[in-house]
């Protein structure tokens, strides 16, 4: 490995060390209550070194959101790449979003509870604009899955893929946000787990989107998505 390569690797390691330190303090104290001095102390670097990599807490916040975005995109990619019909893949997207919340609650809160840090989420910031564009790319993944579902016969042909993707994003994101605040309450007073409620909610959404004219489609597993063909003969299977 050449000197230039080694220096680049060291710079990347130092940058990650700084973001790790910022995460630890931001998630424990909140962004507004954290100082760059504290981040420098946690990272065991001088404040001058911190400023070589990040000019402000806002830039550090964006770096944390980028980490979260990268993980969530990988989660979604697993669902998108499934050899399954559109409706089943939508179920998996919802499950992956809930899994992301369970696996990375601090990242989820940073992404979906932006109102807690409005001063660090200005749409005028080029870094924030870039993150929003990445979010739009993920939205278009959902649009494509819905289009695929319409084409393969698992999703009703009369739904608008763009409006449906926006509605699902709002419903699922908002629903999981609510669960993140009320999870203990759900179990104590209603004896239902968050996972059960997410599954039931997706069943309701699935029934609203499901093509009622036949089976979910050649690639679908009806048992997985609770899509039993009630009424009408399966248009994709031969009668035995």
Q: Which long-range contacts (CB under 8 A, 24 or more apart) does 218-223 make?
A: 218/85, 218/152, 219/83, 219/84, 219/85, 219/88, 219/152, 219/154, 220/84, 220/85, 220/87, 220/88, 220/152, 220/154, 221/84, 221/88
User: What domains are defined for the chain?
Assistant: 1-55 (1.10.10.60), 63-226 (1.10.357.10)
What is the tens place of the pLDDT at every residue in 26-66?
999 988 899 999 999 999 999 999 999 999 998 999 999 99
**Residue 127 confidence (pLDDT):** 83
pTM: 0.80
Question: Which pLDDT score is estimated for 222?
Answer: 46
Stretch 147-160: mean pLDDT, rounded?
95
User: Which is more confident, 101 or 214?
Assistant: 101
Which pLDDT belongs to residue 240? 33
């Amino acid at each position: 490995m050449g000197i230039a390569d080694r220096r680049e690797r060291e710079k990347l390691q130092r940058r990650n060390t700084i973001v790790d330190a910022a995460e630890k303090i931001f998630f424990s104290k909140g962004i507004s209550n954290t100082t760059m001095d504290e981040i420098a102390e946690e990272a065991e670097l001088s404040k001058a070194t911190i400023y070589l990599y990040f000019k402000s807490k806002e830039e550090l916040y964006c770096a944390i959101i980028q980490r979260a975005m990268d993980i969530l995109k990988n989660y979604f990619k697993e669902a998108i790449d499934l050899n399954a019909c559109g409706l089943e893949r939508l179920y998996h997207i919802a499950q992956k979003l809930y899994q992301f919340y369970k696996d990375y609650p601090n990242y989820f809160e940073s992404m979906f509870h932006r109102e807690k840090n409005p001063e660090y989420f200005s749409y005028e910031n080029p870094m924030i604009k870039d993150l929003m564009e990445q979010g739009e790319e993920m939205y278009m993944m959902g649009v494509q899955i819905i289009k695929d579902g319409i084409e393969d016969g698992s999703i009703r042909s009369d739904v608008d893929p763009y409006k449906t993707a926006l509605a699902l994003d709002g419903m699922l994101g908002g629903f999981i946000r609510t669960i993140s605040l009320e999870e203990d309450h759900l179990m104590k007073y209603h004896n239902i787990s968050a996972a059960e409620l997410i599954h039931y909610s997706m069943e309701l959404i699935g029934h609203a989107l499901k093509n009622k004219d036949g089976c979910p489609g050649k690639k679908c597993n009806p048992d997985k998505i609770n899509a039993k063909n009630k009424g009408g003969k399966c248009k994709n299977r031969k009668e035995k």
